[in-house]
Amino acid sequence: MRASKAIKAVLRAATSSVGPDARNGSKNGHKPYRYSAFDLLRHGFSQADWPRAWRKHDLKSSYDVVVVGGGVHGLASAYYLANSHGITNVAVLEKGYIGSGGSGRNTAIIRSNYLTPEGIRFYDRSVKLYETLSADLNYNAMFAQRGHLTLAHNDSSLRTMRWRAEVNKLGGVDSEVIRPDEIKKLVPFMDTSEDVRYPILGALYHPPGGIIRHDAVIWGYARGADARGVHIHQNTEVTGIDVAEGRVRGVRTNQGDIKTDTVVNCTAGWSTLISEMAGVRMPISTFPLQAAVTEPVRPFLDPVIVSGTLHVYVSQTDRGELVFGASVDPFTSYSMRGSLEFTEGLAGHVLELMPSLAKMRLLRQWSGLCDMTPDFSPIMGVTPVEGFLVDVGWGTYGFKAGPVSGETMAELVATGKTPELIAPFGLDRFGRGNLMGEKGAAAVGH
Amino acid sequence: MILLLCPYCGLRNAAEFRYVGEVSERPDPNETGVEEWRSYLYARNNPADWTTETWYHSAGCRQHFVVERHTMTNELRASQLPAAQLRDESEERATGGNAASDGGGAIY
């Protein structure tokens, strides 16, 4: 008894540095707080508050770079600017809280088995960055590479799968077409019988694909960026962008004006509106995409299941919930209200694949905004307005591209040269008529 | 789910329709340069506000028509036939042809 009291006293002394004033970030300058085993034990005993993972700052009147949008793209761009290029006088402006847009609404699927060589190269770099992300950020993002199955229900999709597999292999991405009996081994609950409405003829199997804890990715990048001196401003909405003589001069927000030479538009859903503030027109239409989650059950589903024909994707989280997503709604809208029609269609399609889920209950549904481009590829890089850069048009593939987009946009800002990896995704491709045709995107029915 | 007012069939569930897109003036293909033509093809206003757009009643009368919709709330107002068709029909009317109903009205 006395020994435990003594231990507590020692621990209290050790935790005294974590006082109330330390709540706004760690006390030792910009050094990030380490979540070590010793700290975990110490906090367990002392019950003291953990320090904030990122700090609150006053809005400065000028920044070298202003990133609009505090999602995975904006925070990753800021992180790589500070970490890889030493540009730390950066502000990330977020109108809500960080990760409140598409980054917190997606279904957290990571994969790189796209169809165009440019797409494969780009998304594969992202998968590689995700693989080491937890270690790089010292923050567990729980990336689980459980494999990714894209089902084919008819001859033409099977042909597309074969095409994709071969292009993937050429690009060094692990991807192959497997037969129904092999699918059955991976997913015993799947109905692979032949006498159903949509029989499964095969699947594109992509072992490195998987799911991640999307909130942790946002928080990890925010924490890493903050530790390197980036200012994250939440509840700060951009109301205007000042452009004079063809170049960016500043940004106006509801919290005050900022002078800057470089603005990076990393928004999703609102990207057309932000670009319009700088006078740049975009080939983007905004569609809502609905998703839903069930009550948690014991783990039974390992890989991520996608069916383009049935417009549904299913994965089981580490908590045991099944996460369902669909294709985008049939018409453009900024409204994020769910519809009964979606839930009905979704449930029907999921039961088509796994009839044993019939008794499971949906916990909630939500939707996010997808900025669709005519060729299912993003729009990245420079615009006709000097200093106004875009990282937008992320449709249904934005989250999986977060790290590589941050890395390449940071390189573009720092060097002024468009990295080769994103050169095919420039805004000028529409004027030149060089569209991408990425038929491997989730929104595309095969 | 929203209800759309088809000028021919009246109020119907939006599931019966196919969304075509924003109404924009097509430039004369013989007078336009490549850049302007591609801008017409790809660039969109995509407003978070009232917008005028074309819908197609695919599971009904299979006619195109134009509605005004608020993209934040999906509130609808003023359905009408496409401008080109209105022109045709006013000519028909002048020549004693059979004109369709004019639709219209504020609808949710």
- The domains of chain B are located at 3-107
Tell if the CB–CB gap between A272 and B45 is shorter than 8 Å.
yes
Lowest mean pLDDT among A86-90, A109-113, A343-347, A437-441: A437-441
Instruction: Give A19's pLDDT tier (boundaries 50, 70, 90).
Output: very low
CA distance A2 to A5: 5
The pLDDT profile of chain B, 108 residues, written as one tens digit per residue, is: 578 889 899 999 988 999 999 998 899 999 999 888 999 999 999 999 999 999 999 999 999 999 999 999 999 887 777 766 666 656 555 554 333 333 333 333
The partner residue sitting opposite B19, judged by closest CB among A270, A330, A430, is A330
Nearest CB among A283, A334, A339 relative to B44 is that of A283
- Tell me the CA distances in angstroms from A383 to A184, A188, A389, one per residue in order: 48, 50, 6
CB pairs under 8 A between A and B: 60
Residue with tokens 């080769």: A420
Arithmetic mean of pLDDT over chain A? 90
Residue A426's pLDDT band (cuts 50, 70, 90):
very high
A9-13, A327-331, A399-403, B18-22 — which is least confidently predicted?
A: A9-13
- CA-nearest of A178, A181, A184 to A205 is A178
For residue A157, which phi and psi values (nearest 5 degrees)? -70, -35
What are the pLDDT digits (tens) for A376-416?
999 999 999 999 999 999 999 999 999 999 999 999 999 99
Q: Rounded to whole angstroms, how far apart are CA atoms A392 and A7?
A: 54
What residues of chain A lie within 8 A of the CB of B21, using their CB? 285
Rounded CA gap, A217 and A64, in Å?
25
β-bridge pairing A238-244 and A247-253: antiparallel
Query: For residue B78, what is the enclosing H or E element?
Result: strand B76-80
Chain A: closest CA distance from residue B42 (Å): 5
The answer to whether the beta carbons of residues A436 and A380 sit under 8 Å apart is no
Q: What's the token pair of residue A164?
A: 């994709």
As to burial, measured by CB atoms within 10 angstroms (0-12 exposed, 13-18 middle, 19+ buried), residue A299 is exposed
Q: Does A281 touch chain B (CB under 8 A)?
A: yes
Query: What's the farthest any 2 CA atoms get from each other in chain A?
Result: 79
Residue-wise pLDDT for A157-197, tens only, equals 999 999 999 999 999 999 999 999 999 999 999 999 999 99
pTM over 0.80: yes
Give buried/exposed letters for B50-67 (b at 16+ CB in 10 A, else e): ebebbbbbeeebebbbbb
3-state secondary structure of B99: coil
- Which has the closest alpha carbon to A437: A376, A359, A372, A394? A376
pLDDT of residue A50: 80
Per residue, the 3-state secondary structure of chain A, as one string, reads CHHHHHHHHHHHHHHCCCCHHHHCCCCCCCCCCCCCHHHHHHHHHHCCCCCCCCCCCCCCCECCEEEECCCHHHHHHHHHHHHHHCCCCEEEECCCCCCCCHHHHCCCEECCCCCCHHHHHHHHHHHHHHHCHHHHHCCCCCCECCCEEEEECCHHHHHHHHHHHHHHHHCCCCCEEECHHHHHHHCCCCCCCCCCCCCCCEEEEECCCEECCHHHHHHHHHHHHHHCCCEEECCCCEEEEEEECCEEEEEEECCEEEECCEEEECCCCCHHHHHHHCCCCECCEEEEEEEEEECCCCCCCCCEEEECCCCEEEEECCCCCEEEEEEECCCCCCCCCCCHHHHHHHHHHHHHHCHHHCCCCEEEEEEEEEEECCCCCCEEEECCCECEEEEECCCCCCHHHHHHHHHHHHHHHHHCCCCHHHHHHCCHHHHHCCCCCCCCCCCCCC
Q: Name the residue of chain B whose CA is nearest to A429's CA.
A: B38
Q: Do B48 and A334 touch (CB under 8 A)?
A: yes
Give contacts of A330 with chain B, Cβ < 8 Å.
Answer: 14, 18-19
Please give the CATH superfamily to which domain B3-107 belongs: Folate-binding superfamily (3.30.2270.10)
How far is A440 from B17, CA to CA, in rounded Å? 27
Q: Is the pLDDT of residue A262 over 70?
A: yes
Burial label for B18, CB within 10 Å (0-12, 13-18, 19+), is middle
- Would you give the DSSP letter of residue B16? G
Mutation pick from B18, B42, B75 vs chain A, by most beta carbons of A within 10 Å, is: B42
The pLDDT value given to residue B78 = 75
- Are B72 and A335 in contact (CB < 8 Å)? yes
